[in-house]
Every structure is written in C-alpha cells, then in structure tokens.
Chains A and B, each alone.
Chain A
C-alpha cells in the first residue's frame, strides 16, 4: 500500500483505505472514494492532485492525498 501522492499520472490504482479526519473521510466516501474503487491521477502540482474517480474529477490537497492509500 502506498499513498496516492506517490502515484504517477495516468495509471489506475485500487483504493485500499481512506484515512484522515472523519468529516473529510465521509465526504470523500460520498464522492466515490470507497475501498476497492479505482482512482486515476490526472495531474499533480506540488503534491496537490487532480484525480479521476468514478468518472468525475476531484481536486484534493496534498495532506488529504497522503491519507488515501492505494495498491
């Protein structure tokens, strides 16, 4: 398992775990970041990333992206 921030753009990854504060974790889950879901990095600036999850693009800050574990 590795944090999402380590992933290269364009490669699909399977979400293993979403960490972080409860409120934000819930919000991410509602947006489709569920265990077993696929997430693809679209672009990245300084750790902040734009990812594709369930056909929608979501921008997430570095601190949050670090808490999404993929593998």
Chain B
C-alpha cells in the first residue's frame, strides 16, 4: 500500500526546493481539478511506494485565497497519511501560525525547520525538543538547499504515517473559548471522526462558510458565536487568530534564542537601496535593460539564428563533420523511402517548416527564462511588483501584472502562464487579456517587413510598435476597469517579500525547463495540427474545375485563397482589402512570423528571408504606407497565435472568458487599424469618405469610454475564490 505525504508550509519557506530534493525527476505536474493552481506530485527517491504531494504555499487554512481552499480541501477530503510541515527557521513565529492549524486536522504531522544553515549563521538557536513538546509533533532540523536532514525528515514522516499516530494539538486557547469549542464539538456528534472534531469546531466558530460543504450536517452554532463575540468584543475569526499568535508568543521565548545583532537584516539593507524612492526605478530599468539586452538582442538572437539558419536550415559543421539541417535530413529520408510527393510536401513544407519556425524561438526563450528564474528565486521579482504597483494601479492593473508582460516580450504563452501569480481574480483576467498586446518576438519579423518595405527601414517603426502595445494595455486597463465585469475597488496590494538569497543552479534550470517545455509541448500539438490544416488549405484547390494538389506558385487557386477572398471585404475599411493580406493575417494566427512567409509565397517566392527583403518592392506597390501601418497594428493587437490562445483558454479556465478576451482583442485591433488607416489617409491624401466619418465616431466613442466616470456596481463578495469549489 502506498503512503501519501503532503508538504505544507508558507510561501517562500523552501517547500519547492525540498520537494525537488526529495523527488528528483520523479514528478508529475498538473492542475488541481477545476482551478489553475499548480499541483505537483512525485515519488520519494528510493521509496517507490511513497508519494509526496506538494501543496500550494499558504499562510493559513482560512478560505480567502484559491491556494488555501485547494490545500485544505485536499487535507480534509483526501486525508494524506502524514503532513510534513516545513517551517522557515528564520521566520519562525509567523510560520508556526500555520503549524498550529495543521496540528488540528487530526493527521500525523512532522515539523521540519528549514534554512537551519542561515539560522546557524545568524547565531540563533532553535530548541527543537521544547518546540516539539509545546506543539505536540516531532521536529527535525533541515536545510533543503544544502540537502541536510531531508532524508531523516522523510523517514520520520513515513514512520508516523505507518504508526497512524494522529497529531494531538497541545496548544490551548483561553478557558472560555475552550468551553465553547467543547460544546460545538458535542453538537457535531458522530458525523465527524473524533480526531477532526476540533478542526471543524474552530471553523464553525470562525463562521467559515466554505467549510459547511464538507459537513454532512451543519449544526447551528450562532448561539456560541454571539456569546464569544459579546464576551470578547471582537469577531470570532479575529479572536482565534489572536489566540494563536498569543500562544506562539508565549512559547517562542523558550523555543528560540535570538542572538544580539543589528536590527536590520541584510535583506532589509538591500531593500533600503533597491526599493529606495529615488533609486528604485533606475535600478529596475538597468536590470531590465540587461535582461533584455542579453536575452533578446545578443545571446538569444545568436541562439535563435543558429537554430533557424542551421538546425532548421542549411545544416552546420560539428567538429569537422557536416551535419545537414533537420528539414534536409527529413527530406532525404523521405526521398530514400520513396514517399509520395504530396506527403513529402506536407511533412517538409508544412509540418517541419511550420513547427520548426516556432521551435526556432525556443533558445531565445530559454535564455530569457534563465534570467527570469534567477530574478524570481533571488527575491527581486517580488520587489519589482512592489515598485511597479504604484504605476500600474493608475490604470487598473496590479504591479504583479508587470511580470507576465515582461515575459510576454519573449513569448506570450509563458507570459500568460505567469499571470498565475496574481491572486486577485479580476487583476489576473485583465492581465491575461492585455499581455499579448506587447509585441512578442514572433511579431518582430512583421515589424521588420513593414518597416523595410514601406518605410525604408525608418527607425521609428519598431519602437512605435511597442508604443502601440503599451498604449493598448493602458487604454484597455482604463476602459475595462469601468465595465461591469471588472468593476469594484482593486484589491489592495499586500505581498510578502521573501528574503534575498542566492538561488541554486538546479532550481533555475528546472524553472527554465518547466516554462520552456510547456511551450515546446504546444508546438508539438496545437501548432502541429494547425500547420497541417493550413498546409492542406494552401496546397489544395480548384484548377480548371478540378480539385487537386497545387504547385507552390499556384497558391492563388487554393482553398486558403478562396477563404481569403471571401473575408477580404471585411478588411477593406482598414486599407488592405486584398485577399493576399487577408490570407497572411489568417496564417498569422498559427504563428505570427508566418505572415512574412505567406506574403512570400503569395508573391511567388518559395522562400523569403526572415524580414522578407525579396518582396519589399512588390508589397510597397500593393498597398499605401498608411494601409501597411494599419496592417501592422491589426496584426500586433488582434487575437494572438493559436498557442497563446490555448494558453488564454487554459488560464481563464472558462470558455466564455476566453471568447471575451479574444473578441475584445480582435475588436480593439480592428477599431485601431481602421482609425489609423482612415485618419492617416485623410491626412496624406485628403480623402474623406463614409469610413472616415466612422473612424471619427469611433475615436469619439473611445475617448468617451476612457473618460467616463466610474459607475458604482454592486459586486459580489470574495470573487477571487468563487471558482474554488
């Protein structure tokens, strides 16, 4: 029979490091059912029958955050065989608050005091025998980072799980409270197992509504609540919280000896510089510049160019041996086995080229992810959210929205996934909807094409694209905040800042890989499927009444061309109503850089450079500069590629919200592109038509939405945990 051990602890207590150390590579990462909270399970190294469950980091078992609800539903509903409670030794008082609650669950508990290496370095002492006696569970000292004591902790957890020695809480509240709890326990009767009675009694006294769904019969405890609240002049939940902290304060003196030292820790000193009111923004800008410079313009570009030109291109030389590129290799193989022509075309030009183009971004993204993982695990990212909050709050977003947008400059998929760290439901949804407005690296070739073909490579085009993206985010924030679904006061900013520390290489690489892998998986599934569909649509069609496989240069007879022609009228008011542009925009949905390749094929080149130099002349002849800019704006802002749409759907965790997001993005793109073209044309040529009038009407409407006053809507309480059940 297998044993399940749950790891529980505060955020930033080193839980994930311990989990990685205990399980190695035997991990299964998924989501908790129905919510976008990550669920990690793994097998203990050297024990096939022991499963370690990494619960989300929580401060309490209260019902206020998604993580808390997920963790406690697991602990109550699935009842693991033991809980390994990780306690940050450098922050013991606050961490013990959760421990007192875990002890009440009636599950065997082992407490592991983590970061003992730092505690020892500070010269502090934790008296574990005393702590064990005062809390009622065995206590071990560990350092997850150094790997000391962790095996012992796991062994102890297995031992208590086998003995089924349920934890019996030692801590008591004051007498009046205890007698009330006793009477509630009696009311619970036989519905609840003896060892869980105290937990449920406390939760009922705290008026915890979410706990009622866990009970077969909910006893009426309003009498007890009124009694306690009258006697102690506070609400029951605050009373219990205070009682727990009072108990911890009363024992902490015996359990913990603090050495005499400076009042300010090293982290405090770093914070005084890094979050200083004058230095914060310059330091932040310098860090971001460095990250961006290295991962996007130098190392990242080298890596991506190498992949695109060599690995997925003409091949490369490795220690003097010529190795052909993957497409060539596959083509040779297909020719050798005598594969049918159309299938060869599908595999080489469709799948390998399509998926390869997407995978080409992987090296660049991995470099970016290394930096982000470092910034996250050393503790700086939390400060960034704090510094940016002041600015982001002005347009209805939280400081935590900055991180997804930053990652989104590399790729929207991990960017959207990074929005998970935002607890507030409304802030998170708004971040998911706006993150992809920032040009990701796949949109850069489109920018290069338009700027090269129609603006003679003018230096302002690329920065203007970022400016359009940022403006779209700011305006969307302001407009959406005033709509009914996003209404209400923004959640106040409260966030624990972890102590600064040097992350381990292993953790950085692991985090990089987890994010990168989720992107690669996307390329292997949704993008693969989409490339096959588009390939068929572009290489099959009717020629002289006959449906057949087309030659590369017959693309204008294809199904895709027919589709493009049928929707191109839609884009006429935007200035690019020809079917070729429409088709290019459609293929951009698979991967944005496809836009350039599609134009290449449509203008009769089998293959074009990344920025499409070959077709600059033709493109310049087919549309005006204003129309081209409108095309660029539309492609920057409209629904992102399928991979990113998939990420939006997953993170929204709700089909309706997914359509809201994609619909909003596309409508906004259409409106902005229309205004750009119509107003631009009016200025450059003086033509005033029906759509110029529409454009002015839209602009007035847009400004109206921006400046309209905030309406008061009745909002339902605690939206952020609504989806938890």
List chain A positions with a Cβ less than 8 A from chain B.
9-10, 20-21, 23-24, 26-32, 34-37, 40, 42-46, 48, 50, 52-61, 63-64
Contact = CB atoms under 8 A, between A and B. Distances in A.
A50 B386 CA distance: 9
Given A57-B267, A61-B494, A48 B91 contact: no
Contact of A42 (B65, B268, B390, B717): B268
B275 A50 contact: yes
B90 A32 contact: no
A24 B494 contact: yes
B271 A50 contact: yes
Candidate in B387, B489, B491, B717 with the most chain A CB atoms within 10 angstroms: B491
Contacts of A43: 271-272, 275-277
Contact of B496 (A29, A58, A63): A58
B48 interface: no
Contacts, number: 119
Nearest to A9: B272
Interface in B34-69: 59-60, 62, 64-65
B494 A27 contact: yes
Contacts of A46: 277, 390
Contacts of B497: 50, 57-59
B222 interface: no
A48 B386 contact: yes
Candidate in A34, A35, A57, A58 with the most chain B CB atoms within 10 angstroms: A57
Contact of B59 (A23, A24, A30, A44): A30
Nearest to A20: B492
14 contacts: A23-B717, A26-B62, A27-B64, A30-B62, A30-B64, A32-B97, A43-B275, A43-B277, A46-B277, A48-B493, A57-B498, A58-B494, A61-B492, A64-B494
Contacts of B386: 48, 50, 59
Given A26-B62, A42-B271, A45-B387, A58 B495 contact: yes
B93 A32 contact: yes
Nearest to A47: B390
B280 A45 contact: yes
Interface in B381-411: 382-383, 385-387, 389-390, 393
Contacts of A64: 492-494
Given A32-B97, A34-B241, A57-B499, A45 B277 contact: yes
Contacts of B64: 23, 26-27, 30
B390 A57 contact: no
Contacts of A54: 91, 93-94
By secondary structure, the A interface counts as mixed
Contacts of B268: 42, 52, 57
Given A23-B64, A57-B267, 19 more contacts: A10-B263, A26-B241, A27-B64, A29-B237, A29-B238, A30-B62, A42-B264, A42-B271, A43-B276, A45-B280, A46-B390, A50-B275, A57-B496, A57-B497, A58-B495, A58-B497, A59-B383, A59-B385, A64-B494
Contacts of B151: none
A23 B275 contact: no
A44 B93 CA distance: 25
Report, nearest first, the 10 A-B pairs whose CB atoms are least far apart.
A61-B493, A64-B492, A30-B60, A59-B386, A57-B497, A54-B94, A45-B277, A30-B59, A55-B91, A54-B93
B415 to A, nearest CB: 23
Interface in B91-116: 91-94, 97
B487 to A, nearest CB: 15
B538 to A, nearest CB: 52
B718 interface: yes
Contact of B94 (A31, A40, A44, A48): A31
Contacts of A32: 93-94, 97, 245
B242 interface: yes
B510 to A, nearest CB: 25
A1 B59 CA distance: 28
Contacts of A58: 494-497
Contacts of A37: 245
Given A34-B245, A48-B390, A60 B493 contact: yes
B494 A59 contact: yes
A60 B237 CA distance: 22
Contacts of A21: 489, 492
Contacts of B245: 32, 34, 37
Nearest to B391: A46
Contacts of A23: 64, 717-718, 720
Contacts of A35: 242
Nearest to A52: B268
B271 A29 contact: no
A28 B241 CA distance: 11
A68 to B, nearest CB: 10
A60 B390 CA distance: 11
